[in-house]
Amino acid sequence: HVGPTRDDSLVNGMGTGVIFESSGYVLTNYHVIAGIEHIHVKLSPLATNLPRSLTARLIGFDRSIDLAVIKINSTQTFPVIPLSTSADLLLGESVIAIGNAYGYEDTITRGIISSLHRRVQVNDDQFYEDLIQTDASINPGNSGGPLINILGEAIGINVAVRIGAQSIGFAIPMDRAMDSVSTILRENAEKRILIGV
């Protein structure tokens, strides 16, 4: 899970992340790391032969889609979740949500895809567009975690819970998420080049 902190004793929030590149690049929700000074990453106990606790730095973010890329501060090689296209998803397809629900590590819930291309209002000024809706339980702390298919491939990034609703959760489709990641990484590389020049 990914937990932002301002110092060692104060935890400001918590969420989940997906390692998508073996050098330690992690995809999570922007709201998980927004406005924080230090990012603390705790790896799953299933990640053997790796330290459990690490720090990370922010690489970039896309506030409009609520995604951020962070980089674990380490030279080690990390296990990577397999990614799959979200272009061929079907209503009724079985899915699994994994995350740090309410601080309970590696919480796994299952359900089906209930709807595609949902538009969800967060507040008066903000909407999420084109989301996957599922009845797999997505709770606070699941933000940034993977929504996976029965093959164990990530097809979405868990993003939203409808407060007061039951069996309604939402995820950003993986194709849309990776388009955002590509933009974030390109802009970061361009910024480094400009600073170097």
Which of the residues 1, 66, 84, 137 is marked catalytic? 66
Residues 6+ away with beta carbon under 8 Å from 179: none
Which of the residues 31, 84, 86, 180 is marked catalytic? 31
Active-site residue 143, yes or no? Answer: yes
Active-site residue 66, yes or no? Answer: yes
Which of the residues 84, 137, 143, 180 is marked catalytic? 143
Q: Which alpha helices (H) appear in 16-64, and where do they start and end?
A: 30-33
- Pull the structure tokens for residue 59: 């690489």
Q: What are phi and psi of 37, to 5 degrees?
A: -100, -35
Burial of 117 (0-12, 13-18, 19+ CB in 10 A): exposed
Please say whether the beta carbons of 140 and 113 come within 8 A: no
Q: What residues act catalytically?
A: 31, 66, 143
